[in-house]
């Protein structure tokens, strides 16, 4: 029996992007991004264990422009995955399945994750003395 190469559902190219589907795929994307980001955390911890010189170079990379951009994306990915993960846990408990609730919790995740990211950077810059 030969199988025809038919397009498989979901037909992403004909769907208008919606908040629900975008947030859904972002949960996976941020999960994988965080996985890659653990390399930075492991480097930072291992460098601290090796000694001051190694740690200074790790800290210098994190403090560089590329490092700060990576850190910003990583911190947002972390807060997004954390907030949306809590949203998933409520669904697992059978709560929040009305369409209005989907949108309300979805926007809440967007706002709270961005807010926490900004807060983390304000605290971070304050700890560095503004530099």
Partner 1 sequence: MSRLAPARGLGAAKKGVQHWWLQRVSAIALVPLLLWFTASITQLAGADHATVTAWLARPVVAVLLVLVLFAAFYHLKLGLEVVIEDYVHSACAKHAMLLASGFGCVLLGAIAVFSVLKIAF
Q: Kindly list the residues in this chain that would bind partner 1 in the complex (CB under 8 A).
A: 28, 31-32, 34-35, 38-39, 41-42, 45-46, 48-49, 51-52, 55-56, 59, 63, 75, 78-79, 82, 85-86, 88-89, 92, 116, 120-121, 123-125, 127-128, 131
Written as six digits, the tokens of 93 are: 């408990």
Q: What is the DSSP string of 34-46?
A: HHHHHHHHHHHHH
How near is the Cβ of 42 to partner 1 at its closest, in Å? 5
How near is the Cβ of 55 to partner 1 at its closest, in Å? 4
Peptide bond into 61 cis (omega under 30): no
Residue 12 gets which letter from DSSP? G
């Amino acid at each position: 029996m030969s199988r025809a190469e038919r397009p498989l559902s979901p037909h992403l190219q004909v769907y208008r992007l919606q908040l629900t589907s975008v947030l859904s795929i972002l949960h996976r994307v941020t999960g994988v991004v965080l996985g890659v980001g653990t390399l930075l955390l492991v480097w930072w911890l291992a460098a601290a264990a090796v000694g001051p010189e190694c740690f200074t170079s790790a800290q210098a990379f994190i403090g560089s422009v590329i490092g700060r951009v990576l850190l910003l994306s990583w911190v947002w990915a972390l807060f997004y995955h954390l907030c949306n993960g809590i949203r998933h846990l409520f669904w697992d408990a059978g709560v929040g399945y009305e369409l209005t609730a989907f949108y309300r919790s979805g926007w809440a995740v967007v706002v709270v994750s961005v807010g926490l990211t900004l807060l983390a950077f304000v605290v971070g810059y304050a700890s560095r003395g503004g530099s």
